[in-house]
Amino acid sequence: MISDYRQECEDLAAAFQWTAKINMHEAVANHFSLAVGDGTSFLINPNQKHFSLITASDILLLKTDEDPFKLQNAPDATAWGLHSSLHKFVPHAKCVIHVHSIYSTVLASLKDSYLKPIDQNTALFFNRMIVDENFGGLAFEEEGERCSKLFSDPKIKVMVMGNHGLLVLGDNIPDAFNRMYYFERAAETYIKALQTNQELRILSNAIAEKTASELEEYPSQAKSHFRDIKEILIKEGSNFKN
C-alpha cells in the first residue's frame, strides 16, 4: 500500500517542488521515480502535473509487471516506458530522475556530448557517464528497454540522452537529486566555457579520476543538501507533505 511509503512520497514531492523552484522542470513533463519494497514496485509522479504543485498524496505506486493504463490514475505513457524498464532491468536503478534541464539538454544537442573535466564539478562525472547517441523518439516502452541496456555498469549513473535530455540514477532520492543538480551545474560551466571560444584547460585523466573519487567519498553531502532543501521548503510554507 502506498501508505507504507509516506516518507518516500514526501521526499519525492520535495524533490519535484525544488526542481521547479530552480527552473529545472519542463512544464508538466519529465519524471522522477523510486523503487520500493522488493524492487518490483516504484513510486512516480502523476500524469501531467506541474512539479511545483505535486504533493505527497499525488504520488503513484506502480508495479513493474502490471498494466498501469487500466488504473484510474494512469501514469504518463513515456514515464511508464522509461521508468518501468529501468526499475525492471537495472538493479542499481533505485531512484531514477529524468529532466530536460537547460544546460544538460544543450550538452545533449552537441555532436560531442561528453562532459570534459575542466573543474571540480565536471570532474565529478569523469568515467561515470555515458552518452546515448541513438535517440529513438519519445521514451515509450521499447525505447525505455533500449536505454536500460546501456546501464550495465553499476559505476555509470548518468546518461546524457542525445538530442533529448538527462537521465540520472541514484541509491536513494537525495543521492539521485544531488547528482542531477551537480550535473546541471557542471554542464552550465562547460557550456559557458565553450562560449568563450578559448582553449579549454582540461584536467588530466589521473587528476580527473582522483577528483571524482574524492568527491564520491565526501561525507554525507547529498543527505545534507536534501535535508536543507526540505527545511527551506517548510520555512517557505510549502505543502509538499500534504
HEC sequence for 17-72: HHHHHCCCCECCECEEEEEECCCCEEEECCCCCCHHHCCHHHCEEEECCCCHHHCC
Cell numbers standing for residue 31: 519524471
Q: Does domain 2-235 have CATH number 3.40.50.720?
A: no
Q: What is the pLDDT of residue 86?
A: 96
Q: Counting Cβ atoms within 10 Å, is residue 216 exposed (0-12), middle (13-18) or buried (19+)?
A: exposed
Note the pLDDT tens digit of each residue in 23-66.
Answer: 999 999 999 999 999 999 999 999 999 999 999 999 999 999 99
* pTM for this entry: 0.95
Single-letter amino acid, residue 118: I
pLDDT surpasses 70 at 139: no
Q: How confident is the model at residue 141 (pLDDT cuts 50, 70, 90)?
A: low
Q: How far is CA 48 from CA 10, 30, 69, 138, in A?
A: 19, 9, 14, 15
Q: What is the pLDDT of residue 94?
A: 98
- β-partners of residue 33 are 44, 96
Q: What DSSP state is assigned to residue 57?
A: G
pLDDT surpasses 90 at 73: no
Domain layout of the chain by residue ranges? 2-235
Which residue, 117, 100, 115, is CA-closest to 166?
Answer: 100
Q: What number is the average pLDDT over the span 184-189?
A: 98
pLDDT mean across residues, the chain: 95
